[in-house]
A and B are shown apart, each in its own frame.
Chain A
Amino acid sequence: MRITDQMQFALAAQYDDQAQSNVESAAETASSGLRVVHPWDDPTAAGLLAQNQVTQARLTGIASNANGALAQLNASSSALTEVQNTLNSATQIAMQMTDSTYSASERANAGTQVNSYIQQIISVLNTQVGDTYVFGGDQTATAPFSSSGTYSGDAAVRQVEISPGITVAANVNAAAAVEGTGVAGGVNILSTLQALATALNSNDTAGIQAALAPLNQAITQVSSAQAGVGDSVDALNTALTANQAALTTAQTQASTLGDADMIQAATNLAQAQQALQASLQATAQSFQMSLLNYLSTSTSAA
């Protein structure tokens, strides 16, 4: 092929530009550590990365929600344990006071004790996590139990998503657990305690005896609610572990899809730099090859 000067310079510029561009590209990959920056770097991976970003955001959100629910359920569980302990104490008092050896004043004192239990339970059932009353059902903004024990909450049970599409109960149905609403043979715990207090104050041993069965049912109701909370807490803990694993998997997938193999990137950079050096050397040498050099040399020699 006939080699012309313009062709020589144009090709040199083109090859050097290309080599320089390869170095820039390899340096960008090596310094950023990313294989996919633009969608055209790997269109399929770019699409999957977009989905992966949504997945990661969702898993993080679900974990945050589950942790929030867990805080409420743990608070509910502690409250129910306290209610249960208080009910056990009340039952013990009731059983004790059915004994004929106790006087009316002693029973009245026990009645006062039961009344303080009632206030204690009301206080515990008005537990808040943040601004939320955990036993109010959907009525989370106001205290669900008045000082007289009237329930102003509802029977709603919120659901928390523990993985996409799967939910567990996030609160205790206090209407069922405390008021016995919708529970076969259910009793109102506070009414039962109030009946016991009344019987104690009036020295009514028959009334005290009659309160024992409802108290037993009350303990069963609270135990049942506690078991439900335990199930939800277990499910949430399991879900949180699974969620963390899924998040790790998603992060690994994102890394596999978008991150550069650093060893490969460093090798590519070294290779591109060497190619650029070779190209520049070849260009410099080709420019020295001109008849003009030899003619001028012979002229000056002459």
Chain B
Amino acid sequence: MNLLALLSSTASSLQAQQTVVAVSGDNIDNASTPGYVQQQANLEEVGPGVVVGNSTVGDGAEVASITRTTDSFVEAQMPAAFSAASSSSAEAQALEGVTVLDTSSSNDLASALGNFYSSMEAVTQDAGNTSLRQAAIASAQTLATSFNNTSQAIESARSGIDSQIAGQVTQVNELAAQVAQLNGQIATTEASGGNANSLLDSRQTALDTLAQLAGATTVSAQNGEVSVVLGGGLALVSGNVAGALTATADASNGGHLAVGIELPGSSSSSSLSQGALGGSIGGEIAARDQVLGTSLASLDQLAYDFANSVNAVHEAGYGLDGVTGRPLFDVGATASGASGSIAVDPAVANDPSALAASASAAGVPGDGSQLQALVDTENQGLTGGLTATQTLASITTAFGSAASQAQAVSSQDAGMLTNLQTTRASAEGVSIDEQLINLQQAQRAYEAVSRVIQTTSNLLDNLLQLT
């Protein structure tokens, strides 16, 4: 090997060490950048080198590549973990927002129901007493209002979830478009031999968020592009073309939002089957339609059955004015929406004498036996076989169990996600200590190469002095 060639090779070695310093510097700069994956300058010996005897001496060092230190095993598990954790967390949070069934609530349905029966029973002892009648009607109104408030609180929570879903659908569509655009840029950059690491980081961040929002998974292509796929194999992004989620009011579900999909390249929306969406949108839909929807339907059924059971007795009784056939509650023709609409019949609400306490016209005003019969309905099973009180307890327990289960699953999923994120951060994150060591190492190498240059230069000087 000649000395001039040696000088030339040290130049590339110096450049390589400078690159190592630059990469470490970039790593340190981005140590806290979300989604940033640690990069590594991969050095290699410059060949083919010079044959010296039976051995070969290389032509210095160069940076072969700068790669992201991703862990494909962990990455493959991330979308499902993000989806599950976001889904169960969103469901648990949505349910925790509903406090209308709390036991500590002072104006809750259970108290209102108990007071209703007691106030009605009080009238039986002095059926001609207007004050007692007014108190009984007021307790019926309180009960109806409690039903209305409970229904409104649940419905309000469901509408709040709709607002969240609408915002998240918009976010999903923006991210899908971003991934499609990044797919194109990455494919182009890699095809031209460029470094697409920062684009890959940006895309991975978008993909993580898509998994969190909609439970989207990815399928990689040879050219560096990825397809984004929802449950059931429906593509949200295909190459550099994005589809979109749609959110439209569903009349069959009380006007709540139904999420559909426009496949990439298509402008028509098709509905998504239950379970096609994971992530927070999937969890919110589950909370809205399954847990809260079921609770509301049960509450509607309770209000409907209770009102009809009470009305059947009340309509057979007589008011102080001798009139019979009046209902106590107005509840509508079907159970749907009954808890929201139940109200004391205006004829009774506006006139205490219309409360049908007597079992016969002749029993007016002192007979309260019809109201006693009405009170006795508290021990009668409704359509579900349970009494009104038992049904209310069952609704409370069912809601509590669902919320409790969602919290337990959320905690479990969050634990699994944390473990994976820790593993991912361990493999892909930046350790400043490690980078400082790399910097020290590169500095030492740089100094050593400089020494090689100095030595080579001295040798050349010596050689030139001979001539």
Chain A residues with CB under 8 A of B363: 138, 156
B457 contacts chain A at the CB level, 8 A cutoff:
no
- Interface stretch (choices B99-107, B168-176, B204-212): B99-107
Chain B residues with CB under 8 A of A46: 101, 103, 396-397, 400
A3 contacts chain B at the CB level, 8 A cutoff:
yes
Give bound CA distance, A164 to B368, whole Å: 17
Chain A residues with CB under 8 A of B429: 4-7
**Contact code string B43-64 (vs A, CB < 8 Å = 1, else 0):** 0000000000000000000000
A227 contacts chain B at the CB level, 8 A cutoff:
no
User: Distance (Å) between the CB of A73 and the closest chain B CB?
Assistant: 11
Contact between B400 and A42, CB atoms less than 8 A apart: yes
**Contact code string A280-299 (vs B, CB < 8 Å = 1, else 0):** 00000000001110010000
Chain A residues with CB under 8 A of B38: 4
Contact between B101 and A39, CB atoms less than 8 A apart: yes
Contact between B103 and A49, CB atoms less than 8 A apart: yes
Chain B residues with CB under 8 A of A7: 422, 425-426, 429
8 Å CB contact of B375 from A44, A54, A161, A170: A161
User: Distance (Å) between the CB of B412 and the closest chain A CB?
Assistant: 14
8 Å CB contact of A38 from B392, B397, B400, B434: B400
Q: Which residues 111-160 in B have Cβ within 8 Å of A in the complex?
A: 111, 113-115, 117-119, 121-122, 124-129
Contact between B401 and A51, CB atoms less than 8 A apart: no
A189 contacts chain B at the CB level, 8 A cutoff:
no
Chain B residues with CB under 8 A of A47: 393-394, 396-397, 400
Contact between A62 and B366, CB atoms less than 8 A apart: no
**Contact code string B357-396 (vs A, CB < 8 Å = 1, else 0):** 0100011111111001001101100000000011011101
User: Distance (Å) between the CB of B3 and the closest chain A CB?
Assistant: 35
A68 contacts chain B at the CB level, 8 A cutoff:
yes
User: Distance (Å) between the CB of A253 and the closest chain B CB?
Assistant: 13
8 Å CB contact of A132 from B32, B95, B126, B422: B126
A278 contacts chain B at the CB level, 8 A cutoff:
no
Contact between A4 and B430, CB atoms less than 8 A apart: yes
Q: Closest chain A residue to B433 by CB distance?
A: A291
Instruction: Pick the most buried of B110, B119, B389, B399: most chain A CB atoms within 10 A of its CB.
Output: B110
Chain A residues with CB under 8 A of B219: none
8 Å CB contact of A131 from B122, B129, B434: B129
Contact between B115 and A38, CB atoms less than 8 A apart: no
For chain B, which range describes its interface: under 10, 10 to 19, 20 to 34, or 35 or more residues? 35 or more
**Contact code string A9-23 (vs B, CB < 8 Å = 1, else 0):** 111001000000000
User: Distance (Å) between the CB of B32 and the closest chain A CB?
Assistant: 6
Contact between A291 and B437, CB atoms less than 8 A apart: yes
Chain A residues with CB under 8 A of B22: none
A64 contacts chain B at the CB level, 8 A cutoff:
yes
Contact between B114 and A55, CB atoms less than 8 A apart: yes
8 Å CB contact of B114 from A61, A136, A141, A295: A61
User: Distance (Å) between the CB of B155 and the closest chain A CB?
Assistant: 18
Chain B residues with CB under 8 A of A130: 126, 129
Contact between B427 and A290, CB atoms less than 8 A apart: no
Contact between A3 and B431, CB atoms less than 8 A apart: yes
Contact between A170 and B125, CB atoms less than 8 A apart: yes
**Contact code string A71-109 (vs B, CB < 8 Å = 1, else 0):** 010000000000000000000000000000000000000
Given contacts A5-B430, A5-B432, A69-B125, contact A57 B367 (CB under 8 A): no
Given contacts A2-B431, A50-B396, A161-B372, contact A38 B117 (CB under 8 A): no
Contact between A40 and B404, CB atoms less than 8 A apart: yes
B85 contacts chain A at the CB level, 8 A cutoff:
no
Given contacts A61-B115, A161-B375, contact A39 B397 (CB under 8 A): yes
User: Distance (Å) between the CB of B260 and the closest chain A CB?
Assistant: 32
Contact between A62 and B121, CB atoms less than 8 A apart: yes
Instruction: Pick the most buried of A54, A65, A292: most chain B CB atoms within 10 A of its CB.
Output: A54
A245 contacts chain B at the CB level, 8 A cutoff:
no
User: Distance (Å) between the CB of A267 and the closest chain B CB?
Assistant: 23
B31 contacts chain A at the CB level, 8 A cutoff:
yes
Contact between B425 and A4, CB atoms less than 8 A apart: yes
8 Å CB contact of B110 from A2, A9, A53, A258: A53
8 Å CB contact of A138 from B111, B365, B389: B365
B178 contacts chain A at the CB level, 8 A cutoff:
no
Cross-chain pair count, CB within 8 angstroms: 216
A interface SS class:
helix
Q: Closest chain A residue to B129 by CB distance?
A: A131
A60 contacts chain B at the CB level, 8 A cutoff:
yes
Contact between B436 and A292, CB atoms less than 8 A apart: yes
Chain A residues with CB under 8 A of B95: 40
Contact between A3 and B426, CB atoms less than 8 A apart: yes
Give bound CA distance, A65 to B418, whole Å: 60
Q: Closest chain B residue to A15 by CB distance?
A: B418
Instruction: Pick the most buried of A2, A4, A72: most chain B CB atoms within 10 A of its CB.
Output: A4
B351 contacts chain A at the CB level, 8 A cutoff:
no
Chain A residues with CB under 8 A of B407: 40
Chain B residues with CB under 8 A of A136: 366
Give bound CA distance, A119 to B439, whole Å: 118
**Contact code string A127-160 (vs B, CB < 8 Å = 1, else 0):** 0001110001111110000000000001010111
Contact between A34 and B104, CB atoms less than 8 A apart: yes
B96 contacts chain A at the CB level, 8 A cutoff:
yes
8 Å CB contact of A37 from B104, B111, B434: B104
B108 contacts chain A at the CB level, 8 A cutoff:
yes
Contact between A51 and B436, CB atoms less than 8 A apart: no
8 Å CB contact of A4 from B101, B404, B431: B431
Question: Can you sample 8 A-B contacts with CB below 8 Å?
Answer: A39-B404, A41-B400, A51-B390, A57-B118, A58-B118, A65-B124, A138-B363, A158-B366
B interface residue numbers (CB < 8 A to A): 31-32, 38, 95-96, 99, 101-104, 108-111, 113-115, 117-119, 121-122, 124-129, 358, 362-369, 372, 375-376, 378-379, 389-390, 392-394, 396-401, 403-404, 407, 418, 421-422, 425-434, 436-437
A interface residue numbers (CB < 8 A to B): 1-7, 9-11, 14, 32, 34, 36-44, 46-51, 53-58, 60-62, 64-65, 68-69, 72, 130-132, 136-141, 154, 156, 158-161, 164-165, 167, 170, 258, 290-292, 295
Smallest CB-CB A-B distances: 5 pairs: A61-B118, A57-B114, A39-B400, A43-B400, A4-B429
